[in-house]
Amino acid sequence: MKKGILAVAGIISMIVITTQSVFAAWDKPCDKKKILEAHWCDACKDVREFTECSEIGYIWDFSKHKAAGDKTHTDLPTCWACQKVAYSCINSNCKKYGVCLPAPGACQECGDDITSKVSLSRITFKCPKCSKESTEPGKGFSLIKGSYGNQLEKAGDCETCGVALEVICAKSGTCPHVSR
């Protein structure tokens, strides 16, 4: 009887371990993220690629917007942003369509191209000890050398207690004046 219970417990634990590793492997390719300097539109609570919401084809009525002298969506301040990229097969008839792939290139299942989906979010830096949150990366942060634009390699330490800051990547809002 004891051997039977041990065998059943062993089988259940093997199933649990296998399931966890399958889900962990599935989630990893989607978690490609880059922490970079971008621009923050406070009126829209949205991260922007440029210092104003005037990208060609994205503004609702740019000439009217400029003529009115509205500076709400121009000269946006910089912020730290989280760029997440997920790759999948572009072919809708392929098994890998919509499935997270580890890198760009060609789909190994059907040989077709890979497409990507990018989302930008604003980052806050939180101290795990004193719970203070900030939009600045703290004391002693480091940048990736040689990268295009400023990219954060490692967040710094809390100014108050010296503990390493946690990076919180929260999804930003959607600007009512622009669409992507």
Number of independent structural domains in the chain: 1
Give the pLDDT confidence of 87-111 residue by residue, as tens digits: 888 888 998 888 887 777 888 889 8
Please check whether residue 80 lies inside any domain of the structure.
yes
CA distance 118 to 5: 49
CA distance 49 to 149: 11
Q: What would the two tokens of residue 93 be?
A: 């008839």
Strands (E), 24-109: 32-41, 46-48, 78-89
CA distance 100 to 26: 7
Q: What percent of the chain has pLDDT over 70?
A: 66
* pLDDT attached to residue 179: 38
Q: Give me the domain span that covers residue 117.
A: 2-171
Please check whether residue 178 lies inside any domain of the structure.
no
Q: Is the pLDDT of residue 22 over 70?
A: no
Please check whether residue 114 lies inside any domain of the structure.
yes
pLDDT-derived band at 21 (thresholds 50, 70, 90) equals: very low
Average pLDDT of the residues of the chain: 75
